[in-house]
C-alpha cells in the first residue's frame, strides 16, 4: 500500500513538473517573442515584458502568488501545496528559458509566417502543459483563481468567467501590440483549450461528465462538491446485493475542466470510494445550456 501511495505521488508531481515546463516553453519560445498576449497571467507578463522589459517569469510569480493566497482564503484546501508548486515551477521555468533565449525564441519574426507558427505551437505547448498539470491534480494559478472566485459569487458559469477575463486581457493587448496580435491571441487561446481537453481528458471532450459516487462518507463528499465546485448533487437510493446493506449513490454532472478537481476532492475524503465517470452527450438545465435555448436551436427559432 505504501508503495502505491508513493508511486501515485511521484506520478502526480512528475505531471506537474512536465506540464509546468511545457507551459513555460510555450510562453518563452513562442507567444512572448511573437508578442501574443493570449490571456491569463502569461498574457499580462508578455505585455509587461515588451513595455518595461521585466522577465515574464518574474511577472508571473509577482501576480500569481497574491492570487494563490486569495484562492487559499476563499477556497481553503482547494488550493494546496501542489498548486503552489505548479505556480512556482511555471515561474521558474519561464524565467530560465527567457534568459537562455534572450527573449527571442526559435523563429525569425521578420517573416509573418513565424507569428502564425508561434500562435499555433505556443497554444499546443501551453495547452498540453496545463493539461499535464491538471492530471497531476494541480493548476498553475493565475487568473483562473479570479474566474473561480467570480463563479462562486456571481451567477456566471466558470467557463464564462474564464472567457471574460481572457477577452479583457486580449482586448488590452490591442493597445500594446495592435489588432493583428490580438487576433493571433484568440487563435492561441482556442488551441490551448483544445489541447487541455485532449491531454487532461483523453477519454473524450464532451460538454460534461455524469459522475456516480459510492462511499460511506457520501454526506461529506456531497457537501464538498457543492461548496468547492458549486454544483448540485443528487442522492440515489441503492442497496448492495451481496451485503444487503443500503448504499446511497451520489450523482452529479460536472464540466470537463473540473473532473480532475473532483477526483482529487473525493480521493482526499475517501480513497476507497467507488466512482463511475461517463460521457454526458447533452446537458440541459441550470448551470449548462437552458432547455428553452436547446429547443429553439433545434427548431431554428
Q: What are the residue boundaries of the structural domains of the chain, listed by start?
A: 2-200, 208-299
pLDDT at 87: 87
- The Cα 206–Cα 256 span in angstroms is 7
Q: What pLDDT score was predicted for residue 202?
A: 54
C-alpha 55/C-alpha 163 separation (Å) is 26
- pTM of full prediction above 0.75: no
Q: Is 236 helix (H, G, I), strand (E, B) or coil?
A: strand
Strands (E) in the chain, as ranges, are 208-214, 234-236, 249-255, 274-280
Model confidence at 13: pLDDT above 80: yes
More confident position, 173 or 157: 173
CA distance 132 to 125: 11
Distance CA 25, CA 129 (A): 9
pLDDT of residue 145: 77
Of the listed ranges 50-64, 146-160, 181-195, 239-253, the least confidently predicted one is 146-160
CA distance 163 to 21: 24
Q: How many other CB atoms sit within 10 Å of the CB of residue 154?
A: 10
The pLDDT of residue 4 is above 70: no
Ordered strands of the 208-214 beta sheet: 234-236, 249-255, 208-214, 274-280
Between 268 and 31, the higher pLDDT residue: 31
Give Cα separations from 228 to 44, 53, 115, 252 (angstroms): 27, 38, 39, 13
Average pLDDT score, the chain: 83
Which pLDDT score, from 0 to 100, does residue 205 have? 44
CATH number of 208-299: 3.30.70.120
pLDDT at 169: 93
Question: What integer pLDDT is reported at residue 34 of this predicted model?
Answer: 93
pLDDT in the model for residue 181: 93
For residue range 43-98, what is the model confidence (pLDDT) as tens digits? 999 999 999 999 999 999 999 888 888 877 776 665 567 778 888 999 999 999 99
Mean per-residue pLDDT, 205-222:
83
Paired strand residues for 208: 255, 280
Name the least confident of 108-112, 128-132, 267-271, 280-284.
280-284
Q: Which pLDDT value is given to residue 203? A: 46
Amino acid at each position: 500500500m505504501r508503495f502505491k501511495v508513493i508511486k501515485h505521488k511521484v506520478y502526480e508531481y512528475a505531471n506537474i513538473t512536465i506540464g509546468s515546463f511545457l507551459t513555460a516553453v510555450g510562453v518563452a519560445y513562442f507567444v512572448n517573442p511573437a508578442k501574443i498576449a493570449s490571456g491569463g497571467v502569461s498574457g499580462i507578463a508578455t505585455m509587461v515584458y515588451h513595455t518595461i522589459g521585466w522577465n515574464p517569469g518574474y511577472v508571473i510569480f509577482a501576480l500569481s502568488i497574491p492570487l494563490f493566497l486569495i484562492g487559499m482564503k476563499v477556497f481553503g484546501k482547494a488550493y494546496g501545496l501542489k498548486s503552489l508548486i505548479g505556480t512556482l515551477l511555471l515561474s521558474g521555468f519561464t524565467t530560465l528559458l527567457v534568459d537562455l533565449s534572450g527573449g527571442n525564441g526559435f523563429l525569425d519574426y521578420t517573416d509573418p509566417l513565424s507569428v502564425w507558427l508561434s500562435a499555433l505551437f505556443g497554444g499546443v505547448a501551453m495547452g498540453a502543459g496545463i493539461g499535464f498539470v491538471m492530471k497531476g491534480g494541480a493548476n498553475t494559478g493565475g487568473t483562473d483563481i479570479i474566474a473561480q472566485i467570480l463563479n462562486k459569487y456571481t451567477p456566471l458559469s466558470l467557463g464564462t468567467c474564464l472567457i471574460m477575463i481572457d477577452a479583457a486581457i486580449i482586448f488590452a493587448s490591442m493597445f500594446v501590440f495592435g489588432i493583428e496580435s490580438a487576433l493571433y491571441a484568440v487563435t492561441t487561446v482556442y488551441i490551448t483549450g483544445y489541447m487541455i481537453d485532449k491531454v487532461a481528458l483523453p477519454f473524450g471532450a464532451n460538454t460534461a461528465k455524469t459522475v456516480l459516487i459510492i462511499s460511506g462518507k457520501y454526506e461529506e463528499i456531497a457537501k464538498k462538491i457543492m461548496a468547492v465546485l458549486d454544483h448540485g448533487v443528487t442522492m440515489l437510493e441503492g442497496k448492495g446485493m451481496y451485503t444487503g446493506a443500503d448504499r446511497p449513490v451520489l450523482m452529479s454532472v460536472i464540466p470537463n475542466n473540473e473532473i480532475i478537481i473532483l477526483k482529487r476532492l473525493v480521493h482526499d475524503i475517501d480513497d476507497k470510494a467507488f466512482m463511475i465517470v461517463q460521457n454526458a452527450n447533452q446537458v440541459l438545465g441550470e448551470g449548462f445550456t437552458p432547455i428553452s435555448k436547446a429547443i429553439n436551436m433545434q427548431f431554428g427559432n
